[in-house]
Structure 1
C-alpha cells in the first residue's frame, strides 16, 4: 500500500516540507524555503543524501509550493504514491481539539484564530490554499499545535482578568508545541513502559521554547499562553514579564505599543541579553571564549526554564520523568546541566558523565544513581506525528 505523505510547515518567512513513507518512518525528500518575502529567497531540497539550492524569483509561499510540485513531477515514483498532505497549524483556539481533514469550515476556523497568531496563521492559510490548487483531489489534514493542551483545567487556562474577556473574545491560555509534546509522551511510553500513568515534565527548548506537564498522558499545564510570547525566555522572545514594560518601553523609546510588543517578540531573549546572537551554539562558543554577556544570557535561560518546569509541576502528583527535547534540549550539555542544577530542591540530579557523552539524535537516560526522577533526552519528530495523523484520518 502506498502511503506517501507530504508534510508542509508554513512559517511567516519560511516553508519546511518533507515527504514521508512507510507509516512516516522513512523520509524520501525534505527541504526548506527560506527568506520568503525578500530578494534573497531560496529553496533547498535534500534527496538521497544530496542537497540542491535554487533561488525563488517571486519569494512567495505559492512559488515555493510550485517548485516542490515541479520537483515531484520529475520524480513520479514519489508523486504517484502521494495519498495525503498534512499541514502544521500553530493556532486552533478552542475550535479544534484534534487534527482534522481540511474543508471550507476548517479554513474559516483557522482564519478566525488568526488574531491570536497573526504571523503564522496567514502563512498556514496560504500554504493550504496553494496545495489545494496544485494537488487537486488529494485529501489534506490540519494538525494543530494547540490541540494537545485542550485537556487543561479551567484553573490553568483562564487568566485572572474579567471573565467577560474570555466569554466574548476567547482570551485564555492555549499553549503550543503540542505536536512535539504528544510525540514525546508516546516515545517515552515505548521507552519506559508505565510512564503514561505517571507524571512527566518536558522542556521543549529551541529558538521557541516551552515546558509542559503531562499527567497520565494528558497535558495538565504548559508555559506558553494565548500566544507563544508567554513563559520561557527564548531565542528572540522575552517570555513572561511585567506587562507594564510594554507601556514603559513605548514611552521611553517614543514608539507605539505594537512596536514595543515587537521588541519583546523579535529583539529580546537570548539575542537581547547577549547582544550577540539568538543561537545557543554561538553563545556557548562565546562563553567558552570568556564572553560574560553570552554566559549571562544562557544562565538566565536556564534559570527561567527551571522556574517554569517547577511551576508546571504543581499539576502533577509526582515528577517521575523529566525530558529534554528540541534543538537546545537535545544538544546543549551546558544548559541541561544548569537547568537540573536549579531543580536540586526537587531531588533532580543528572549524571554529568552521561550528560557529556549523550549521543546526538538518540534517546538517552541521564539519571544520576539514586535520583527518583528519570532524566531523558528524547529527540522530537513533529513531522512523523503530522504524517501519522494524516494517514489515520484519510483511512477513516
Structure 2
C-alpha cells in the first residue's frame, strides 16, 4: 500500500522535514525552517522536480513553522489534502529505559519524553515542540516517536554499565544509552548494501557534526557507542565537553561558586572546540584560525582529532578487528582536513587514505594498499524515521 509519511527532525530553533512516498522511499519534498523564534527565520524547501523555494520571514514558534511546512506541501502540489499524510515520524533524542524501539505517540509517551528532558536538555524539549505542533495541525495523522537511543539497546551490559553504586543504577536507570541512532543505523544499511553484510560486519561509524558520536557496529548491531547517559558524553564536540574527569565539576563549583545549572550550561554550551579555541564551535572557522597561526585553535583541533582516534582504537578491540571506517554528518562528510587528521597515525590498524580521493570527497577514500575501507557517506536520518514510522503504523 502506497502511503505518504512525513519525517520530522525538530531542534530548538529549527525544523527539518521530508515527505516520503512509502514503501518506495521516494522523497517528494524536503526542507527546513531555521531560526525559529526570530523575525528573520529562513524557510527553504525543494520538490522532487528540483524546484526550490527560499524565503526569510518572521516565525514565532514551532506551530508557525509547522503551518509553513503544511502550506508548502499544499502549494507545491505534493498533497491536495492534509488527510493524505497518514503518518508523521518524529526524531526524539532520549527514550530512556522506557523505549528500545519506535512507538506510536500517545499522552503517556509524550509525558515520558518530557520527563526525559532532564537527560537531553538540548533536544527532547524541542522534539516535543514538534510533536505538539503537528498534533494540532494534522490531528488525523498517526504520530510515531523514533528514538536516538533505540539502536543502541543491543549493547552488552559490559559496554553500557557505569561503575557507580548499583543501588543508584537500579533506582535511576543509569546506563550508557547512546545517541545519533538513526544516523548510525543508516550508515550500516548503506555499507551493507554497497559492500555486502560480510564486509559491514565490523564497522565503525563516525558521526561528526556540532554533536559527535562514534558507534561500533558488529553484524548490524550497536555494541558500543561514545555518547552515554546523556548526549554530553564521549567525544569533544562543538560546544560540549565530552568525557572529562568527574572530579573537575565539584572543584569548579567550589572555586568558582557555581551551582549545578551553571555547570550544566558550561558543559553543554561553553566547552568543546569553542571552549578550547575561544574562536567558534564551527570547525571551518577553527581550521581557518589555525591556518592564521592561532595556537589555541590548533590545540582544539588536535584534542578533537586525538579523541576520535582513541575511540576508533578502542572500538576496533570491541569488534575484534575493523573492516570499514565511515565518516558522516556535517564535519565527517565535508571536512577533508579533519578526516586526514583523524586517519593519520592509524596505519597500525591498516587505515590509509588517498589524499586526492579525500579532497574530492569520494565515497571511498582509502589508499590502494589500505587494509580497511574508509568511506564518506552522507547521512539520512529522515529515511530511517520514515522506515520506522511505516513499520509502526503498519
Instruction: Tell me the TM-score range normalised by the shorter chain.
Output: over 0.9
Equivalent residue for 1:62? 63
Residue 14 of structure 1: how far off its partner (Å):
2.4
Which stretch has the larger CA shift, 364-373 or 28-37?
A: 28-37
Residue 63 of structure 1: how far off its partner (Å):
2.0
CA contact (8 A) 1:198 1:318 kept: no
Call closer, same or farther: CA 1:97–1:392 in 2, change over 3 Å: same
Residue 171 of structure 1: how far off its partner (Å):
1.0
Cα distance in 1 for partners of 2:80, 2:155 equals: 40
Cα distance in 2 for partners of 1:79, 1:233 equals: 46
Query: Helix, strand or coil: the match of 1:9?
Result: strand
Query: Helix, strand or coil: the match of 2:79?
Result: helix
Which stretch has the larger CA shift, 177-186 or 91-100?
A: 91-100
Equivalent residue for 2:149? 146
Q: Does 1:78 align with 2:68?
A: no
Query: C-alpha offsets along residues 115-142 of structure 1, whole Å, 9 cap, x if unaligned?
Result: 3113322222222122122112111111
Query: Helix, strand or coil: the match of 2:70?
Result: helix
* Structure 1, unpaired ranges of 5+: none
Cα distance in 1 for partners of 2:323, 2:91 equals: 30
CA contact (8 A) 1:29 1:45 kept: no
Call closer, same or farther: CA 1:124–1:375 in 2, change over 3 Å: same
Equivalent residue for 1:367? 366
CA contact (8 A) 1:202 1:213 kept: yes
What are the within-5 Å matches in structure 2 for residues 373-388 of structure 1?
373-388=372-387
CA contact (8 A) 2:199 2:323 kept: no
Match 2:319 to one of 312, 316, 321: 316
Cα distance in 2 for partners of 1:189, 1:330 equals: 19
Call closer, same or farther: CA 1:237–1:370 in 2, change over 3 Å: same
CA contact (8 A) 1:201 1:211 kept: yes
Equivalent residue for 2:19? 19
CA contact (8 A) 1:212 1:309 kept: no
Number of matched pairs: 389
Query: C-alpha offsets along residues 58-99 of structure 1, whole Å, 9 cap, x if unaligned?
Result: x22222212323333434542534221110000111211111
Call closer, same or farther: CA 1:103–1:334 in 2, change over 3 Å: same
CA contact (8 A) 2:33 2:41 kept: yes
CA RMSD, Structure 1 to Structure 2 (Å):
2.1
Equivalent residue for 2:8? 8
Match 1:50 to one of 49, 52, 55: 52
